[in-house]
Amino acid sequence: MFKVLVVAYYFPPMGLSGVQRTLKFVKYMKNYNWEPTVITSGKVAYFAHDNYLNNELEELKIEVIRVSGSFEPNSLLSKFGTLKFPSEFIRNILDKISQTFFIPDNKISWSKKALSKVDEVLSHQHFDALFVTAPPFSSFEILSQIKHKHDIPLFADYRDLWYGSYFAFYPTPFHRLMHKKKEYRALKSADRIIVTNRKIKEKLLKVYPFLTFDDVAIISHGFDQEDFDKIPAQPKPQNKMVLMYSGIFLVYSTPKFFLKAFKELSVERPDIASNIELHFVGLLRKENQRLIKKLKLQTFIKDHGYVNHNESIAKLKSADVLWFMVGKRRNIDAILPGKVYEYLGAQKPIIACVPDGAAKMAVEESGAGFICKPDDINEIKNTILQVYDLYKKNSLPKPTEEFLSKFRRDNLTELLTKQFQMKLRAEG
């Protein structure tokens, strides 16, 4: 087998969306003659831990090397285990403070420890490729320094934008310049950049003209068919349409407009509203819960809280319709939440409250989507009514098997290993 050294800060037992992509790549690499070894974070405090994904990792029986950062916040708070997610107001303040003092991010100390460990491993073992996931982008920047020392092909997986990101805060022109300069140097060292959607690729090629079209490959987010095959759906309420959201509302997303739209529907058409339940799976924070109470929607809401991945899949399979939203921010057209493909894997129709961009295109391509603007309350209300009408007629659309096959995690991993192979053949 060929061997690949995978460096990923976000990895089980951590939960939330940033973990799954890398774990599922690692899960299926051996199917394509690549044996992974993973260097990841040690014991850290985090907002969610997923026992199911961690058990899945242990069953893979691959080598996992854990390192901890000296001054990395999650390592410093590790004794607290699973942290309570702060309000969006507090999170935003803490994030701005962090981005003011740490460039490119506050995982620098962990990335330096990871660099030391990678250097040690490569000094004693042969690997055919080095695969680094980002964010955190400090790991890509710092690990790009080691490529030439060990003469190893470097592949970087971008789950989000770096320079100009919808998450980025630049308090001074210096911060903006440094981010761009660091990304430029890291990209210069990489043999291939993997991105999750076409919009990220377009922005990278525009900002860094030295990159060629073939330097950046698109490998989408996806879903693990094995999860959907072996995890049964949970029972659902009889004679009610379950409209479900999975995940957390953060930075670019809020339930505000959707809830206000449903409030209007409950006033105008109480007969229909009484036959709909709004389910939330994930972290529904206090400000969201206060809004639900203010709108007096408690009787329509079921908050499942954060659940392990298997329970999330079971709940998605039980829902009738799934929804998500992406707000309007700088470069938001390049964001494509990983949940979109989990939704599609459940073979359910999707209400997407989104602006133009990658997320909108993905849902449109599925043939099972209902698109509305993220902040247009009247349009959202009418979309819910349209979906309910189709539900009553048993005519809700769902994506085709042919479409879904492109986003299976095993097929996406094959595409990734082909990128590794192409580089090895080129060098050979």
What CATH number does residue 345 fall under? 3.40.50.2000
Mean pLDDT by 10 residues, the chain (428 residues): 97 88 97 98 88 96 92 80 84 93 95 96 96 97 93 96 93 97 97 96 97 97 96 90 93 92 98 97 90 97 94 97 92 90 95 95 94 97 98 95 95 98 81
Dist CA 173 CA 166 (whole Å): 17
One domain for residues 321 and 245: yes
Dist CA 332 CA 326 (whole Å): 8
Residues 6 or more apart whose Cβ sits within 8 Å of residue 173: none
Residue numbers of the domain that contains 283? 225-405
Residues 6 or more apart whose Cβ sits within 8 Å of residue 177: none
| 289 C-beta neighbours (distance < 10 Å), count | 14
One domain for residues 115 and 16: yes
pLDDT of residue 428: 63
Cis peptide leading into 209, omega within 30 of 0?
Answer: no
One domain for residues 302 and 413: no
One domain for residues 212 and 99: yes
Dist CA 309 CA 159 (whole Å): 19
One domain for residues 42 and 145: yes
One domain for residues 247 and 345: yes
One domain for residues 215 and 230: no
One domain for residues 60 and 197: yes
One domain for residues 200 and 289: no
Strand order in the sheet with 154-158: 63-67, 34-41, 2-8, 129-134, 154-158, 192-195, 216-218
For the chain, the distance separating the N- and C-terminal CA atoms, rounded to the nearest angstrom, is 17
For 41, the token pair is: 């974070």
Dist CA 267 CA 160 (whole Å): 40
One domain for residues 313 and 416: no
Strand partners, 302: 279
- Using alpha carbons only, give the angle 253, 256, 261 rounded to the nearest 5 degrees: 125
| 293 C-beta neighbours (distance < 10 Å), count | 10
Dist CA 75 CA 107 (whole Å): 10
User: Which pTM does this prediction carry?
Assistant: 0.94
Whether 407 and 220 have beta carbons less than 8 Å apart is answered as: yes
Residue of 99, 240, 94 lying closest to 171 (CA atoms): 99
One domain for residues 267 and 196: no
| 126 C-beta neighbours (distance < 10 Å), count | 9
Query: What is the number of domains present in the chain?
Result: 2
Whether 117 and 109 have beta carbons less than 8 Å apart is answered as: no
Residues written for the chain: 428
Whether 75 and 69 have beta carbons less than 8 Å apart is answered as: yes
Residue of 83, 412, 362, 29 lying closest to 218 (CA atoms): 412
Dist CA 71 CA 35 (whole Å): 32
Dist CA 95 CA 103 (whole Å): 12
Strand partners, 11: none
One domain for residues 203 and 263: no
